[in-house]
């Protein structure tokens, strides 16, 4: 028994003598392998628990970029109730005289019946009110239930004596634009909204057609007649009803706005000098992109009162 143990011991000693020390790289590999095996053997309960709220946001699409270029992300609604915004924009200085548009005698029996006014900047001679300024909310967190339930009536867009009768028009996405031709000659109505399906409708005298925008735009879309190239107008399509266009005296009202939370408004005018897309910059009211922020009082009216706009704000 003792002899057998002695032989076993001698064999073990011989194996030990034949063992070779691993190289430095080999030793490092052994250490790393041991670390990996130890990490894999750890219990799953030691890992941090998953954040289910984040998973729900991912599944719900939270954090996606706004569909319209340049538009802010939707802000959470924080206020309650509804209120109105109103105001009057007037021209500070002498009323500009822009003259009339030249027709070059094209279809003169219809187009030259009366001088065609240049409506790039329209100022009322009695009140200095500025017509055709678009005022609208850039992003509304909520919409009044009564307004949302209304079926918007179609908007009439007519042309007579080679002039679009509505120079600047606001409309909701999906609302019908009834295009009319009250002239005895043909006109085409060319609408090309960015990233949306447009139309180039050829209307004979007395004809009509329907058109709907399927996407809102951050600025009004130009409408032109290629047959009579001086004919030009603008249509502003928006998702919600929170927009207005100033009347002949420069007045506007936007009703039933979300109250109790800060809203950002945009000013636009065809010949504004403030930005490349017609952003109207008004000293003391807007930033350099023609935007201003206000909080509307619940069940009340926020009146901007009379806002004077200098001539330098326009390209005259």
> Which DSSP string corresponds to 84-109?
EEEEEEEEESSPP---EE--TTTTHH
Residues 212-246 as b/e (b if ≥16 CB within 10 A, e otherwise) read ebeebbbbbbebbbeebebbbbbbbbbbbbbbbbb
The whole-number pLDDT of residue 75 equals 53
pLDDT above 80 for 53: no
| Cβ count near 54 (within 10 Å) | 10
3-class DSSP assignment, residue 125: coil
Most trustworthy range by pLDDT among 4-18, 67-81, 280-294:
280-294
Nearest to 173 by CA among 135, 218, 215, 221: 215
Are 298 and 80 spatial neighbours (Cβ–Cβ below 8 Å)? yes
Which pTM does this prediction carry? 0.77
Query: How much is the pLDDT for 78?
Result: 77
Count the helices and strands in the chain (H runs, E runs): 5, 21
User: Measured between alpha carbons, how far is 174 from 239 in angstroms, rounded to an integer?
Assistant: 9
Share of the chain above pLDDT 70, in %: 76
Q: Which one is predicted more confidently, 44 or 128?
A: 128
| Beta-sheet pairing, 82-92 with 301-310 | parallel
Q: Is the pLDDT of residue 16 over 80?
A: no
Tell me what pLDDT residue 76 has.
60
Question: How many beta carbons lie within 10 A of that of residue 88, not counting itself?
Answer: 20
User: Does residue 167 have a pLDDT over 90?
Assistant: yes
109-127 per-position pLDDT tens digit: 999 999 999 999 999 999 9
Q: What is the mean pLDDT of the chain?
A: 84
């Amino acid at each position: 028994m003792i002899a057998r143990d002695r032989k076993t011991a001698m064999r073990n000693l011989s194996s030990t003598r034949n063992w070779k020390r691993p190289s430095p790289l080999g030793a490092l590999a052994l250490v790393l392998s041991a670390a990996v095996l130890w990490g894999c053997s750890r219990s799953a309960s030691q890992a941090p628990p998953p954040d289910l709220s984040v998973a729900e946001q991912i599944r719900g699409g939270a954090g996606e970029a706004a569909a319209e270029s340049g538009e802010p992300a939707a802000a959470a609604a924080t206020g309650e109730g509804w209120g109105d915004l109103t105001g009057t924009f007037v021209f500070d200085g002498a009323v500009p005289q822009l003259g009339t548009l030249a027709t070059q005698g094209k279809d003169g029996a219809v187009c030259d019946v009366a001088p065609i006014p240049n409506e790039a900047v329209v100022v009322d001679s009695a009140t200095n009110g500025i017509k055709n300024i678009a005022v609208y909310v850039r992003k509304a967190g909520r919409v009044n239930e009564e307004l949302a339930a209304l079926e918007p009536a179609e908007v009439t867009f007519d042309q007579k004596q080679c002039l679009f009768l509505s120079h600047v028009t606001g409309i909701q996405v999906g609302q019908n634009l009834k295009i009319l031709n009250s002239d005895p000659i043909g006109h085409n109505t060319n609408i090309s909204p960015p990233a949306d399906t447009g139309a180039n409708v050829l209307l004979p005298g007395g004809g009509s057609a329907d058109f709907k925008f399927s996407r809102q735009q951050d600025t009004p879309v130009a409408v032109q007649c290629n047959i009579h190239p001086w004919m030009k107008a603008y249509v502003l399509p928006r998702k919600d009803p929170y927009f207005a266009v100033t009347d002949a005296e420069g007045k506007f009202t936007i009703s039933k706005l979300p109250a109790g939370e800060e809203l950002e408004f945009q000013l636009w005018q065809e010949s504004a000098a403030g930005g490349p897309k017609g952003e109207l910059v008004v000293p003391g009211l807007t930033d350099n992109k023609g935007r201003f922020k206000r909080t509307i009082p619940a069940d009340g009216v926020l009146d901007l009162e009379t806002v004077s706009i200098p001539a330098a704000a326009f390209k005259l």
